[in-house]
Amino acid sequence: MIGAFDVHYLKDGRASTAAVLFSDYAAPEPAAVYTHMVSQVEDYLPGAFYKRELPCILTMIKDIREALDEMLVDGYVMLGKRPGLGQYLYESFTGKIPVIGVAKSRFEGAPAAEVYRGRSKNPLYVTSAGMELQEASERIRSMHGPYRVPTLLKQVDLLARGY
């Protein structure tokens, strides 16, 4: 099963975490949906975003009953030569579950592939751990939906925001 994760931070110090699971990148609907509220999260630290987001995702994963074969995160795997959220998630599972990072904005120095979807003139920036970057890019390109952001990634974002 493939799991896509997103976290939304609330003004009261909590975080809403969501996951959508699917077995095929072209799937228009998730096979399962999970949401979880984290009561207290770390403050944002520039350059250490993973310290805020990773605990939320790891807590969510404890609730998931299905076995995960791959994971997608909103963000980067590597930030240049420094590990990003995706790399820390990959290492949390001792490199046994590949992680694909999908970002909407460029991070200077990150080894990302630009993936154009639909009619958008703006790419998604794809990074990966445990999987060749070209393969990860093709998987994101093949995801369902006519727009820049694939249907299921938009859905997990909306779920994290409470919609």
User: What value does the mean pLDDT of the chain take?
Assistant: 94
> Residue 107 is part of which domain span?
2-160
Q: Over 80: is that where the pLDDT of 37 sits?
A: yes
- Give the pLDDT mean for 33-40: 92
- What's the pLDDT at 47? 67
Per-residue pLDDT band at 40 (split at 50, 70, 90): confident
Q: Give me the helix-helix angle, 50-63 and 85-92, nearest 10°.
A: 40
Measured distance CA(87)–CA(67) in Å, rounded: 20
Tell me which DSSP letter residue 146 carries: S
Note the pLDDT tens digit of each residue in 115-159: 999 999 999 999 999 999 999 999 999 999 999 999 999 999 999
- What's the pLDDT at 46? 67
> Pairing relation of β-strands 78-79 and 82-83?
antiparallel
Question: What pTM does this model have?
Answer: 0.95
Measured distance CA(42)–CA(26) in Å, rounded: 35
- What's the pLDDT at 43? 74
Q: How many residues does the chain have?
A: 163
CATH of the domain at 45: 3.30.2170.10
Tell me which DSSP letter residue 44 carries: P
| Residue 75 and residue 49 in contact, taking contact as beta carbons nearer than 8 Å | yes
- What's the pLDDT at 60? 94
In sequence order, the 6+-apart residues with CB closer than 8 A to the CB of 137 are: 113, 115, 126
Measured distance CA(53)–CA(73) in Å, rounded: 10
Note the pLDDT tens digit of each residue in 50-108: 888 999 999 999 999 999 999 999 999 999 999 999 999 999 999 999 999 999 999 99
Phi, psi of 63 (to 5 degrees): -80, -15
Number of domains in the chain: 1
- What's the pLDDT at 13? 87
Q: What value does the CA radius of gyration of the chain take, rounded to a whole number of Å?
A: 15
More confident residue, 41 or 80: 80
